Structure 1
């Protein structure tokens, strides 16, 4: 059974997801999918970003609340997601 790669910020919040069949079985490939530039991948790895392969039940439990902005994680910038300012165009 194929799973889902989830992109996890240092705070534990999931910021992205992609189906394993699209990316493959390696975490490095998942990281490349989300972050194409190697310099950015190195920086993210140093910051504590990670990518995990999970099944559907785990995806529903961990990723769905974050992707729907219904989690209680802090953003990777140190503030709750709801407190992040909107871009000027969205106001």
Structure 2
């Protein structure tokens, strides 16, 4: 399968993506790509971060909304609420 590795936060929000051809066929390879330090990878794994291989259709369904800011995930401050700016007198 030639697909995409997606990096999934504990809340289910996708925080990154990379082509399988670039990093390799193993989830460990993908995790190393996103998080080079072993200690950091261990912390992330314990916290629930995941790396999954998906095809193009699954990427569009699962990753694209998150990576374009259109998902409904709220943890980790991903969603930003618009606030009106005060008018400036000229």
Q: Same fold (TM over 0.5)?
A: yes
Partner of 1:81: 79
What secondary structure sits across from 1:73 in the alignment? coil
Q: Deviations over 1:49-81 (max 9, x none)?
A: 000000000000000000000000122x3x452
Aligned residues: 81
TM-score (norm 2): 0.85
Aligned counterparts of 1:73 and 1:37: Cα–Cα separation in 2: 27
Mapped contact 2:5–2:52 kept (Cα < 8 A): yes
Partner of 1:9: 9
Question: Can you give the 5+ residue segments of structure 2 that lack an aligned partner in the other structure?
Answer: 82-90
Structure 1 stretches (4+) deviating beyond 4 angstroms? none
TM-score (norm 1): 0.84
Q: Which has the larger radius of gyration?
A: 2
Question: Can you give the 5+ residue segments of structure 1 that lack an aligned partner in the other structure?
Answer: 84-91
Aligned counterparts of 2:78 and 2:39: Cα–Cα separation in 1: 27
